[in-house]
A and B are shown apart, each in its own frame.
Chain A
Amino acid sequence: MRYETVIGLEVHVELSTKSKAFCSCKNEFGSEVNTNCCPVCLGYPGALPVLNKKVVEYAVKAGLALNCDISLYSKTDRKNYFYPDLPKAYQISQDDMPICKNGFIEIEVDEEIKKIGITRIHIEEDAGKLLHGAGDEDYSLVDFNRAGVPLIEIVSEPDIRSPEEARLYLEKLKSILEYLEISDCKMQEGSLRCDANISLRPIDEEKFGVKSEIKNMNSMKSLERALEFEVKRQTEILLQGEEVAPETRRWDDAKSITIAMRAKDKTYDYRNFPEADLVPIVLEPEWIKEIKTNLPELPDFKRNRFVKQYGIPKYDASVLTLSKDLSVFFERCAKDYKNPKAVSNWVMGEVLRILKEREQEISNIKFPPEYLRELIDLIDEGLLNSSAAKLVFEEMFDTGKEPKTLLDKLGLKQISDEDAIGELVNEVLANNQESVEAYKNGKSNALKYLVGQAMKISKGKANPKMINSMLLERLED
């Protein structure tokens, strides 16, 4: 029996508004414990929430960018449950009337465009954070800085058919949200959190199988790996003729397995009902139109523009536009430059390599993109060979200094002066009589060796083309 994988993703995104969703406390990651809180977000008696307009604006932005219908009338509801990190003992969320519905994201699978449906986007608030006593210490403390931080939850249709597609969907979603500048989208810090519902069904079967909900995936890679593990696990269960248990499972990244957390058959009754302390969210069509007009260029559009405008391959354009910061970096570098493909190669090659190696973000890069263009210019002018250019690049990355300055400082400027090259060639010929003889006896390989010697003496700075031609000249004399 062969099975088809069915995946749906629920993504929670912390919005990067200045203040929290229902009070004026700062929405800030990493502040001292319990400093960004007030009677409202601490759930004090009598305190009342007031919806932050920016939260609505950001949610509408997301909805428009994800091709959703925007509800002119929506409302907030209370989701009731007891937990120490939930100060009011209910979460303000949207139950049956979300602010956005019926959208989609396009991903590219095997060079084909595939649409993944988005069921809904709704506004809600985050909870605080529990800090448990270490080891035997029998206590827990609560940090309420995160309580009331605005979230949007983006729920996909069960349209995803493989772990890879799931990753592509999440990458694209993250990319779009970054372009909109409505969230930091940092999975490690929890500003982008993804839960996955996954089930298998026999191919050609319409009915969905029993699903597991997978939590705790902290990177794109762990999402894909967790789902791959889950496909294997569920396949094995089904092949043995058994049934998958409906449960919530936690991905353990270190052990590379999912672990059962709790059964899903006993679902908690959240007693959702309308939040009477807030009024319905009523939007003006004009306001939505205004937001739509002011949406920034989104990744797909930019990718196509890059292909057209810079003549770079679609693959390059996809890689460059997935991250907004990277696309801006590339564009500042490639703008009005004669060889955009060279820029693309550098950005996709050296720039991404060094960022990964140093575990840095493109947004924190020290040098302006224009410096990279100068560096490529220096190579084109023959002032720098490619291996020296890489050294300059690393130095530029570390110091943020201009390539020309670094060239002098590192003494890496290519030697293209005829007299200097002449002297170098003389020295090599004088010290390598055996190779000279060998060449004259028809061993053309000897030339390569001689060029190499010249480069070695010049510490790689000599212009190899000039050395080559000058050596030939002398040897043929």
Chain B
Amino acid sequence: MNLYDLTLHEVHEKILEKEISAKDLLDSVFDRIDKVEDKVNSFITITKEKAHEAANKIDKKIAQGETIGSLMGIPMAVKDNICTKDVKTTCGSKMLENFIPPYNAEAYERLENAGAIMIGKTNMDELGMGSSTENSYYKVTRNPWNLDMVSGGSSGGSAAAVAAGEAFYALGTDTGGSIRQPASFCGIVGMKPSYGAVSRYGAVAYASSLEQVGVLTKDVYDCAIILNYLYGHDPKDSTSLNIVHDNFIEGLKKDIKGLKIGIPKEYYGTGIDDEVKNSIKTALKAFESLGAHIEETGLAYSEYSLPVYYIIALSEASSNFARLDGIRYGYNANDYKDLDDMYTKSRSQGLGEEVKNRILLGTHSLIDKNYKTHYDKAIRVRRLIKEDFDKSFQKYDLLVIPAYPTAAFEIGGKIKDEAAMYMGDLCTVPVNVAGVPAMTVPCGYNSKGLPIGMQLVGKHMGEATILRAAYAYENNASYTKLKPKL
């Protein structure tokens, strides 16, 4: 067994026992990167030197007898739209090719302060726009389970890195499924926290009212460990909530007897692959055998989630990314006639097609003529969708839905059919619209050997319940867990 194959909590045990050092772990991970990164393309930037410096420091601290925290000395990766001090943060865009933030995102800083070792910044769809990591300006990330397949997106680099053993866990962001869908494609655990649970400070905003920073891990236990660090109020983010949370690990091992799980039928209709449906059906049986009650239910407004999501997300994006004007930082077209020409050229040349499409659509929704029928209507329908979820959670502790209608699709395959790709968002997007937490948990493989994931959706700030159920399932799953063969 190689060190890089272990989970975060397993290697933590080894560090605790002084079996291995932070350097050993780092060497193992970098050996792995040397071997597989060319195939997978998880990273935009690898920070080998910095990582070694940090690991040295940690090893010294450990030698001096400092208390060893759960993250100390353990290599991890960060999605490239999460600002890291003095390390390039490109957001997968040419526009920010040389952008080096002078500050850390709060989420990353909390982990760094706890001794986490960042080994690099992971690939992503440009500015978070896409669900296959094919929209990156830099490279296409491949699925470690099958290199012809996409890794999912937009946090595809983070998901692939964790699945391929290049990092023990990775930070991602989820605006409309960008953590949960790639986690599903890569057969790992991915958590999108409740809106307001984790600071967004320093995570480059795509759609402010929808997104959260979250984490991709090898198993549920690891997820609980990281969430303990990420959660909690940050005065730098006005939308971060001041709510005390329980220790997520302590709650993990309680049983799930009597847990009420709703199965909203709208998420199992046409378009959802039979293999996906069957895997989830099997998983539900496992839940039942653990004492949970399963019941079919409905979320009637879900069908409106897509237009609501796209109008809100793209409107906010059109405004959030307007700052990428090439004046203070980022790509600036050198050859221009006047101010307007500078804006036009810098943005036309610095931003990719998908980004430009989305910015145009968002702008369109906000202009005076359309505001009432587009943006304003979307935020009103959004309220109904939220209420729909709220009502559901008065009855159920959790909802279980597919993480995606299919397993990972082929590179270059689906992306040409934009409408089909957007349909895939139906599984993940309503969760962001409602602001509730959801976690992808692997629940089997399809006939091609590609992982399938299901989502456990909880009520707002109901992460502990999700974790408990997911942990119980993971330890009683009726399929054999595999590792990608790379």
Contacts and interface: CB of A to CB of B under 8 A. Distances in A.
A142 B208 contact: no
Contacts of A80: 318-319, 322, 366
In which size bucket is the chain A interface?
20 to 34
A78 B203 CA distance: 20
Contacts of B208: 276-277
A84 B326 CA distance: 10
B236 A271 contact: no
Interface in A76-111: 78, 80, 82, 84, 87-90
Nearest to B127: A45
A82 B239 CA distance: 26
A400 interface: no
Contacts of B96: 45
Contacts of A44: 101-103, 328-329
B245 to A, nearest CB: 20
A278 B316 CA distance: 13
Interface in B318-334: 318-319, 322-325, 327-329
B201 A271 contact: no
Given A43-B328, A46-B201, A47-B201, A84 B339 contact: yes
Residue from A80, A88, A269, A271 having most chain B Cβ neighbours under 10 A: A271
A48 B205 CA distance: 9
Chain A contact surface mostly: loop
B238 interface: yes
B88 interface: no
Contact of A50 (B81, B99, B236, B379): B236
B157 to A, nearest CB: 18
A277 B239 contact: yes
B238 A50 contact: yes
Contacts of A88: 322-323
A46 B368 contact: no
A3 B371 CA distance: 39
Contacts of A277: 205, 208, 238-239
Contacts, number: 101
Interface in B285-341: 315-316, 318-319, 322-325, 327-329, 339
Contacts of B315: 273
Nearest to A39: B103
A49 interface: yes
A420 interface: no
Q: Which of B323, B329, B343, B379 has the most CB of A within 10 A?
A: B323
A56 to B, nearest CB: 13
A42 B328 contact: yes
A39 B316 CA distance: 20
Contacts of A278: 238-239
A50 B101 contact: no
B323 A43 contact: yes
Contact of A46 (B105, B207, B339): B105
A94 B105 CA distance: 28
B363 interface: yes
A220 interface: no
Contacts of B8: none
A185 to B, nearest CB: 30
Contacts of B201: 46-48
B408 interface: no
A78 B375 CA distance: 14
B436 to A, nearest CB: 17
Interface in B84-124: 89, 91, 96, 99, 101-103, 105
Interface of A: 39, 42-51, 78, 80, 82, 84, 87-90, 142, 269, 271-274, 276-279
28 contacts: A43-B323, A43-B328, A44-B102, A44-B329, A45-B83, A45-B96, A45-B204, A46-B81, A46-B83, A46-B103, A46-B205, A47-B103, A48-B205, A48-B236, A78-B319, A80-B318, A82-B325, A84-B339, A87-B323, A88-B322, A142-B327, A271-B318, A271-B368, A271-B371, A273-B366, A276-B208, A277-B238, A278-B239
